Amino acid sequence: MNPIEFSTLEKGQDIGSTTLHVNRADLVRYAGASGDFNPIHWNERFATEVGLPGVIAHGMFTMGAAVTLVEDWTGDPGAIVDYQTRFTKPVVVQDPDGTNPSDAPGTALEVSGVIGALDEAARTARVDLTVVADGQKVLVKAQALVQF
């Protein structure tokens, strides 16, 4: 990928979009990596007993998955110097037939990004992400600051 020239960027510029598919196997792997084995992230019965609509993705998993759009756009994950968001809705990870196979498509997480602000003196761009699952925004004020 060609490096992005800061001088070519404009506020409101689209950086692209992607659809990520999250399945139960992804959540189990993330639980192992993060040490967060809360059963709401892998056990349907438990999740519904505590009032959730089903198994939900870890918030930090969702946040990390969403920022991959910015990583891919820059070509350099180290260029992201700040990233923050608010969690608004849980990502319910579907298991349509109840078999929980590791290759099930799971739930689609749709991510798009636009440049929300530019700081010429600091040579930074703030990328505003829109993150949607099942037609609802699951993250708001998801903003990554990219240093050029």
Q: Where are the domains of the chain?
A: 6-21+57-147
| Predicted confidence (pLDDT) per residue in 55-100, tens digit | 999 999 999 999 999 999 999 999 999 999 999 999 999 876 656 5
Q: Which helix (H) or strand (E) holds 64?
A: helix 59-66
- What are the distances in angstroms from CA 103 to CA 38, 59, 77? 22, 22, 27
Sign of the alpha-carbon dihedral angle for 98, 102, 103, 107: positive
pLDDT per position as a tens digit, 39-59: 999 999 999 999 999 999 999
Tell me the per-residue pLDDT of 103-127, one tens digit each, with 9 for 90 and over: 667 899 999 999 999 999 999 999 9
**What tokens does 17 get?**
């979009």
Instruction: Specify whether domain 6-21+57-147 bears CATH 3.10.129.10.
Output: yes
